[in-house]
């Protein structure tokens, strides 16, 4: 996929300006430069970056429409979807969290180079963040199974806040597997949008989940507890 195609394919649900397209081009260059040193992502070929990172991370805008919110992206890695959201949505304040220091170094540098003033980067484990009830939106792509992500995400959200879980082809199974977690963490699925990426590169499901009430203070537990005793 090239940038013209990116612009055309997203125009129906998230029109991108020329300066936003320029920002994506610059982001791809930074990714390639830093990847040579730090091995940040397996995908570096530009047409693949455009499709599997940028386009993929813009697809959620088919399901969510928010302005002026506080958002947080857990396990942001090289900035997916968090940094893409920061470029796409200038009215959002977005916090990017990753437990790996070198990824955070890249994220800070990339935000600076791209002139993004709506980004804060925190090098921490999501379950040790604190920051309860502060966010309107939590996002995560490719970080952990859904039942575990729910335990990381719910405490961070305001009541009625949204958790966007970006999943591949196993989304339905993950929702079933998380049945008890949904109940214990007082949240529910509001919608799920599934589509194939162009060029046969796979299926994506964006699951929109809503926090119904205040999360029990015993969550999140430690990472070890979460692994040992699945909700």
Chain contacts with ligand SAH (rule: CB under 6 A) = 74-77, 80, 97-100, 103, 125-127, 141-143
Q: At closest approach, how far in Å is the CB of 123 from ligand SAH?
A: 9
Q: Indicate the residue among 100 and 118 with the shorter CB distance to ligand SAH.
A: 100
Q: How far is CA 23 from CA 54, 72, 83, 85, 176, in A?
A: 11, 20, 11, 12, 38
* 16 DSSP 8-state letter: P
Q: At closest approach, how far in Å is the CB of 64 from ligand SAH?
A: 17
Number of H helices, E strands in the chain: 10, 7
Q: Three-state SS string across 40-101, please?
A: CCCCCCHHHHHHHHHHHHHHHHHCCCCCCCEEEEECCCCCCCHHHHHHHCCCCEEEEEECCH
Q: Indicate the residue among 99 and 134 with the shorter CB distance to ligand SAH.
A: 99
Residue in the structure block whose two tokens are 């990116």 = 6
Q: At closest approach, how far in Å is the CB of 18 from ligand SAH?
A: 26
Q: At closest approach, how far in Å is the CB of 82 from ligand SAH?
A: 8
Q: Indicate the residue among 100 and 212 with the shorter CB distance to ligand SAH.
A: 100
Q: At closest approach, how far in Å is the CB of 165 from ligand SAH?
A: 11
Q: Indicate the residue among 71 and 97 with the shorter CB distance to ligand SAH.
A: 97
Q: Indicate the residue among 1 and 97 with the shorter CB distance to ligand SAH.
A: 97
| Dist CA 171 CA 58 (whole Å) | 18
Q: What angle do CA 91, 96, 97 make, to 5 degrees?
A: 155
Contact 116, 86 (CB under 8 A): yes
Q: At closest approach, how far in Å is the CB of 160 from ligand SAH?
A: 24
* 217 DSSP 8-state letter: T
Q: Indicate the residue among 6 and 96 with the shorter CB distance to ligand SAH.
A: 96
Instruction: Return the closest-CA partner of residue 140 out of 204, 94, 72, 187.
Output: 72
């Amino acid at each position: 996929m090239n940038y013209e195609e990116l612009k055309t394919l997203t125009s129906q649900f998230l029109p991108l300006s020329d300066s936003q397209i320029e920002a994506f081009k610059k982001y791809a260059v930074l990714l390639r430069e830093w990847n040579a040193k730090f091995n940040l992502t397996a995908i570096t070929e530009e047409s693949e970056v455009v499709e599997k990172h940028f386009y993929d991370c813009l697809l959620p805008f088919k399901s969510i429409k928010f302005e002026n919110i506080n958002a947080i992206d857990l396990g942001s890695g090289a900035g997916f979807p968090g940094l893409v959201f920061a470029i796409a949505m200038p009215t959002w304040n977005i916090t990017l969290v990753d437990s790996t220091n070198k990824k955070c170094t890249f994220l800070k540098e990339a935000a600076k180079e791209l002139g993004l003033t709506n980004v804060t980067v925190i090098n921490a484990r999501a379950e040790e963040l604190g920051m309860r009830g502060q966010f309107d939106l939590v996002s995560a792509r490719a970080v952990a199974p859904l039942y575990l992500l729910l335990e990381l995400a719910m405490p961070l959200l305001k009541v009625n806040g949204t958790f966007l879980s970006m999943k591949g082809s196993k989304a339905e199974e993950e929702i079933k597997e998380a049945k008890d977690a949904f109940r214990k963490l007082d949240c529910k699925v509001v919608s799920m949008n599934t589509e194939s990426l162009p060029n046969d590169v796979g299926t994506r499901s964006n699951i929109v989940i809503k926090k119904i009430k205040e999360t029990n203070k015993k969550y999140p537990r430690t990472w070890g507890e979460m692994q040992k005793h699945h909700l």
